[in-house]
Amino acid sequence: MAAGTDALVDNGIHSTDWVSRLSSVILFSMLLYSVVGIPDFNRTAAVAASTDHVSPVNRFIWLGLLSLSLPLIRARWQAVLQLVRSSWLLIGLFLYFTCSTTWALDPTASSRRIMFAWIEIILAVTLTCTIPDRKTLLRFIFISCLVAGVADLVVWIIMPGYAMTSEGLAGIQDQKNQTGLIMMYGLLAGGPLLLYRPPKRERYRILAGMALLFFLLLASRSKTCLSIIILMPPLVWLFYRLTHSRLSLSVAVIISLLAILTCIVFGYFLWCEDTNAAPFAPFQKMTFTSRTDLWSFMLEEIQKRPWLGAGFYSFWSIDPSVQPSLKTSMWFGSEAHINEAHDGYLDLMASGGAVGFAIGIAVLVRTLTLAIEALARTGPPDAAAPTRLSNPQACFHLAFLLALCIHNFTESNLFSNNGLLAVALYFSIFDLEYWKRSSRPPAPSYRRM
């Protein structure tokens, strides 16, 4: 019986035709909406005295996607429950976030946002258990980002004054960082698609799509996303080599890299000593586009609620009567509407406190560990087992998770509500947890003599 129960995780995903078709439709719709959203072509600066407006269309779309997934949940409820139990750390984090709505600075806004987060989680876990082919996730991510890229290009041609802002290309997005984020996400999915060794014509289409995404990424002038895309291929390759090398060789490479870094730092300090230069002078004027002032402000606010925080996403874009002091700071006014700390870790600390921060970091560490383990243990794609995680997907998950961790040092989208990277993170977590559970050896069964 135990072996048969564990086999449900693997065999339960071999869906019937209607389950496969419905799952694919919902998955593509969910990813496309997360990437493109609903453009309103009204990029006027928001007045800080108001909260974020929640479109009734947005609510209708997410609830509609959830309603469409109910037959899938009913058809694969055992596999869904098993995957939820395997992902207990993520579920525990959002149970804590749900409890935080009771002490949130703005309980109404916090409750609304946690509701949408639970909808996204339910959809992600259901689709992970019903997706007909693991490659489908990568393909839909790439196509969705490409659709957004084509839309940005068309708007740039038709409405150049609207699409190209003074900071960079925003396209149909609210600001240029969102455009850079979408292009980065599409490029992270496009690279692993090439690892499937597709036919020549399909390979050329993927390369052409990646070229367009990279061109738009350059036009967006999103320095963080561009740096991540340049850094990620050698970084993933390094992880791949380390996980497929002998332990002694891996340790030697890591020690060598640390030794090189130590020599560079030590050499820099020696040069400063020889030239009487101040070692930290180059860093004193670095503001990361005025982010350091914002981070100092956030640290002061975190000290007011250090343990439990302000409640799930109940710090920014809330009722101004709750925190009138925030609305009079240097970052608010008629010229700009700041609704994030531009650091996902500070926002996590501010909204979840030390408790939420610790659990959230534990989720990231566990998922990164699973991604590295999957990179080491998975093999090439197998056409006979399309639902089994293979090396290209493991590369994508590791690259995405590393990109997410790096990106959140200067932007804020860690466990964010109704955000592209939040949806992407849920899929990576559930996909890796599903692989971990299905790769366990079946428990031995004993018969009575």
Evaluate whether 141 touches 185 at the Cβ level (below 8 Å): yes
Any residues with CB less than 8 A from the CB of 298 and at least 6 apart, and which? 341, 343, 346, 347, 350
Residues across the chain: 449
Summarised one tens digit per residue, pLDDT across range 272-316 is: 666 776 665 555 554 455 677 778 888 888 888 999 999 998 888
User: How far are the Cα atoms of 1, 85, 214, 345, 409 from residue 444, in angstroms, in the given order?
Assistant: 9, 21, 51, 43, 46
Check the CA dihedral 154-159-160-166 and report its sign.
Answer: negative
Q: What are phi and psi of 332, to 5 degrees?
A: -120, 155
Question: Residue 35 carries which side chain, given as an amino acid letter?
Answer: V
Evaluate whether 178 touches 186 at the Cβ level (below 8 Å): no
Which pLDDT does position 281 carry in this prediction? 57
Question: Residue 200 carries which side chain, given as an amino acid letter?
Answer: K
Evaluate whether 148 touches 199 at the Cβ level (below 8 Å): no
The confidence band for 422, taking pLDDT boundaries of 50, 70 and 90, is confident
Evaluate whether 345 touches 357 at the Cβ level (below 8 Å): yes
| pLDDT of 372 higher than 50 | yes
- Give the separation between CA 235 and CA 402, rounded to whole angstroms: 9
In this prediction the pTM is: 0.85
Which pLDDT does position 276 carry in this prediction? 73
